[in-house]
A and B are shown apart, each in its own frame.
Chain A
Amino acid sequence: MSKSNFTRRGLLKTGAVTGAGLAMPTIFTSGAMAFTNEPTGDTVTFGFNVPQTGPYADEGLDELRAQELAIEHINGMGDGGMLNTFSSKALGGDGIMGKKAAFVTGDTQTKSDAARASAKSMIEKDGVVMINGGSSSGVAVAVQGLCQEAGIIFMAGLTHSNDTTGKDRKANGFRHFFNAYMSGAALAPVLKNAYGTDRRAYHLTADYTWGWTQQESIQSATEALGWETVNNVMTPVGAGDFSSYITPVLNSGADVLILNHYGGDMINSLTQAVQFGLRDAQANGKNFEIVVPLYSELMAAGAGENIKGVYGSMNWNWQLTDPGTQAFVKSFGEKYGRPPSNSAHTCYVQTLLYADAVTRAGSFNPCAVAEALEGFEFDGMGNGPVLYRAEDHQCFKDVLVMKGADNPTTEYDTLEIVEQTPVSQVTYEPNHPMFGGDEASLGECNDGA
C-alpha cells in the first residue's frame, strides 16, 4: 500500500509559493538574465513613451513619427536619414548587433503617474531595453527615476527643466534636449542687442518644476545684463484666462514681460498679453516687449500672428542648413508631408544615439551602453559638434535663438532663426548651483542584475 506525501498544508504552501513567484513582476526576477530585459531573440524592443492623449498629444504624435522613422533607418529601410551624416559609423542599417529593432508605445498623458505606469508596463510586459520620449519635465524626472530603479536606459525626449540633468540626474538617464539655463545664456546677448541693458522685467511663470528653473535661469541671465526684475508671479498650469495676471503688468513699472509658459498656457498668455495692448504700449520711455524663453513650432503655429517679433529659443529647427538637418528633414518630410518639430528631432536623435552606443559597446547591458554614451562626441545630427557630458549626461551643443517671423509663407515657418549661439556660451560646470550644486550626483548605474 503506497502512502502519498501530499498533505493539504503542503499543497497550500507549494501553491502559495508558486503563485507568488508567477505573480512577481519580471523586473524582480531577472536573476536568470545578466541584466534587465536582456534581448534573447532576433529582435530588440524599444519603448516610446509619449503623450498620445492630453494637451501635448500633437507633440507626442510628432515624436512618434520621428521614432518610427528612426526604427526604419536602424533596420535599413528608407533613405537612412541622419545615419548618412552621423559621424559615428557603427550602425550599418542592419539592425542592432544582428537584431531587428522593434518598438512598443505608451501614453504618458503628460501626467507623471500615468507616464510611470505606462513605462512600467512596457518594461515588465514588453521587455523593452530603453525608454524614449515625453514632452514634460515632470514626466521626464518621474520616468527617469523608474528606469534607474528598473535597470534600463532612459533617453529623454522634450524636457527643458534644469532638474532633469541637475538635482534629479540619474546614471541611467540621458538628455539630448537643451535646458533652461542654456536658453537664458543664449537669449541674454540677443536681448541686450535688441532691447539694451536698462530694462525692467516682469515674469509670469508656470507653477511647476520647469517653470521654476526656467524663470530662475532667465532672471539670472537678464540681471547679469543689468536688467531689473520687477516681479515674478506664479500662475497655475492650464489657467486658460490669464487676464488677472496680465492686467497688473502694465502699471507695474516693467517694460518687458517674460512668459515662462509652454504649450497651451503660452499660446493663451501671449495672445491675451497682445489683446491687452502690451505690444503697442510704452513704458519708461521705451516700447514694451514680450519674451518667450522656450519655443516650439506647434506653439508658434497656435499663437498665430501674436508671435511676430517675439524672441525665444529652441533646441533645433528644421530651417538649419547643415547636412544632418537636411537629411532628416528630407526623410521626415517625404514620409509625413511636413517638417519635423524640435521634439521630433530630439527623439529621433536619441533613438539613433542609443542604437549606436549599444553597437559601440557591443552589449545591450545598460551600464555598458551608459559608458559608451558618457563623454561621447559626435557630429552630423544638427547644431554642429555635440558632447554627451559624462558628469551629468547632458548634451552640449549650439542653441538656437528664434524670433516670430514677420512674413511667414506657410504654417511651418512662423519662426525664424536669429542666431546659432555657440556651445561655449551655454556651457556650465556640472556642479553649478542651478543644477543641484556639489550635492547633485548621478549615483550608480543599475543594470537590474
Chain B
Amino acid sequence: MDAIILQILNGLDKGSAYALIALGLTLIFGTLGVVNFAHGALFMIGAFVAVTLQRVFSLSYDQVDPTKTDFLGNPLVVQIPYIESWFGPEVGHWLMDWSVPLAIIAAIPVMLIVGFVMERGLIKHFYKRPHADQILVTFGLAIVLQELVKYFFGANPIQTGAPDAFAGSMDFGVLLGFDPNVIIYPYWRLVYFGFAALVLGGVFAFLQFTTFGMVVRAGMADRETVGLLGINIDRRFTLMFGLAAAVAGMAGVMYTPILAPNYHMGMDFLVLSFVVVVVGGMGSLPGAVAAGFLLGILQSFASMNEIKSLIPGIDQVIIYLVAILILLTRPRGLLGRAGVMED
C-alpha cells in the first residue's frame, strides 16, 4: 500500500508539470489556433530565469586569501558576493537561499515579454498557415532558443536548490496512519504540487469569473462573432499567449530544485505535454489538466519494479500506449470538442 501511495504522489508531481505546460499549449491552440512546439522552450526559459537570478545574487568580487593556494600554487582568489557585502552575510545568504521562490517574481514579467515578442514577432505571421508550417516554425524556434541557452549557460545541468527550509523530506505516512519512515516525501515536491494547484485554479478562475476571461472563452467558441461585436479579440488572444508563457515559465522556475535545469529540458517535456494535450482533447483546458495528472500517475505506476518485471520497458512507452488506446476509442481525446483540428 505504501508503494502505491508513493507512486500516486510521484504521479501527481509529474502530472503537475505536465498539466501546467499542457494547459498553456492547449490555451494557445484554443485561442490562436497555433500548435506551439516552442512551448517547452518557455518552460526551460522559466527555469533559467531562476538560474540567472541565482547567478545575479552570486555576482562577486575577488579577494585574495594569502593563507590558501589555488591549483597552480598561487594565492587563492576567494569570491565574495556583492549582496553579502552590501546587505550583510545573513541577508545575502537568505537572498541566495530563496532565489528560486524569488525568481517567480522576476519570471512573470520576463515570460510575459518573451511570450509577447514571440507571438508578435513570429507566430502571428503563421496564423493562417497550415498546422504543419506552424509546427515547423515553432519547433525551429525551440531549437534556436535552446541553443542560445546552451551558449550562455553551457550544456551541463545547473544545480538550483530549494530554500533550506524545504530541503528535507516530510514523513507523509504518519499523517495517514503508517509507521514512521515508510512514506517519506520531499517538502519541495509537495510545495510544487500545491503551487500547480494554485496556478491551475487561478487560470480557471480568471477565465471563468472575469469579463476578460468571458470574452476570451467566447472568442475561443466563435472568434468571428466576437470580432463583429467590435471587440479586439486578437489583442486579448495575444495577452493569453503571454499568460500561457508566464504559466510555463513559473512551472519551470519551481521545477528547478526537482530537476537541475539544462538546455534540453524543454524538449523533454514538450513531447510528453503534447501527448497530454492530444489525450485531453485539443483546445480543452480541463482535458489538458485531467490528462496531465492521469498520464503522470500512469507513468509512475509503470516504473514500479513489479510492473516492469511483468512487461519490460513499459515505463518508457506507457504514455504512448494509453494515448493510442484513448485516441482509438475517443478520437477527440478525453474532453475534446467536435470540429477542433478536423477541418
Within 8 Å of chain B (Cβ to Cβ): is A16?
no
Q: Is the CB of B316 within 8 A of A267?
A: no
Within 8 Å of chain B (Cβ to Cβ): is A58?
yes
Q: Is the CB of A251 within 8 A of B259?
A: no
Within 8 Å of chain A (Cβ to Cβ): is B157?
yes
Q: Is the CB of B159 within 8 A of A250?
A: no
Bound-state Cα–Cα, A302 to B168, Å: 20
Within 8 Å of chain A (Cβ to Cβ): is B7?
yes
A245 proximity list for chain B (CB < 8 A): 303
B260 proximity list for chain A (CB < 8 A): 264, 267-268, 271, 302
B63 proximity list for chain A (CB < 8 A): none
Bound-state Cα–Cα, A301 to B260, Å: 12
- Known A267-B260, A271-B260; contact A248-B304, beta-carbon cutoff 8 A: yes
Within 8 Å of chain A (Cβ to Cβ): is B182?
yes
Within 8 Å of chain B (Cβ to Cβ): is A412?
yes
Q: Is the CB of B71 within 8 A of A264?
A: no
Q: Is the CB of A410 within 8 A of B76?
A: yes
Q: Is the CB of B300 within 8 A of A240?
A: no
In the complex formed, the residue of A with least CB distance to B9 is A247
Q: Is the CB of B72 within 8 A of A330?
A: yes
CB within 8 Å of A: which B132-164 residues: 150, 154-159, 161
Q: Is the CB of A250 within 8 A of B181?
A: yes
CB within 8 Å of A: which B267-303 residues: 268, 299-300, 303
Q: For residue A157, give the distance in angstroms from its CB to the closest CB of chain B.
A: 16
Within 8 Å of chain B (Cβ to Cβ): is A134?
no
A282 proximity list for chain B (CB < 8 A): 181
Q: For residue B31, give the distance in angstroms from its CB to the closest CB of chain A.
A: 29
Bound-state Cα–Cα, A299 to B259, Å: 14
Q: For residue B175, give the distance in angstroms from its CB to the closest CB of chain A.
A: 16
Partner of B71, one of A250, A298, A333: A333
Within 8 Å of chain A (Cβ to Cβ): is B106?
no
Q: Is the CB of A55 within 8 A of B155?
A: yes
B85 proximity list for chain A (CB < 8 A): none
Q: For residue A245, give the distance in angstroms from its CB to the closest CB of chain B.
A: 6
Q: For residue A60, give the distance in angstroms from its CB to the closest CB of chain B.
A: 8
A231 proximity list for chain B (CB < 8 A): 305
Bound-state Cα–Cα, A39 to B265, Å: 44
Q: For residue B287, give the distance in angstroms from its CB to the closest CB of chain A.
A: 23
Q: Is the CB of A275 within 8 A of B186?
A: yes
Q: Is the CB of B68 within 8 A of A248?
A: no
Interface centre among B9, B150, B169, B303 (most CB of A within 10 A): B303
Q: Is the CB of B14 within 8 A of A275?
A: no
Bound-state Cα–Cα, A277 to B68, Å: 34
Q: Known contacts A238-B268, A281-B181; can you find 14 more A-B pairs with CB under 8 A?
A: A55-B262, A55-B264, A57-B150, A236-B315, A247-B10, A250-B184, A251-B182, A264-B156, A264-B157, A267-B260, A275-B189, A276-B185, A302-B158, A330-B72
A interface list, Cβ under 8 A from B: 53-58, 231, 233-234, 236, 238, 240-241, 243-245, 247-248, 250-251, 264, 267-268, 271-272, 275-277, 280-282, 298, 301-306, 318-319, 329-330, 333-334, 339, 409-410, 412-413
A-B contact list, 30 entries, CB within 8 Å: A55-B264, A56-B155, A58-B155, A233-B305, A236-B316, A238-B268, A241-B14, A241-B259, A243-B14, A244-B304, A244-B315, A247-B6, A247-B9, A248-B6, A248-B304, A248-B305, A251-B3, A271-B159, A271-B260, A275-B169, A275-B188, A275-B189, A276-B184, A277-B184, A281-B184, A303-B159, A305-B161, A329-B71, A329-B72, A412-B71
B interface list, Cβ under 8 A from A: 2-3, 6-7, 9-10, 13-14, 68, 70-72, 76, 150, 154-159, 161, 167-169, 181-182, 184-186, 188-189, 257-260, 262, 264-265, 268, 299-300, 303-305, 308, 315-316
> What 4 pairs between A and B have smallest CB-CB spacing?
A244-B303, A57-B155, A277-B169, A304-B159
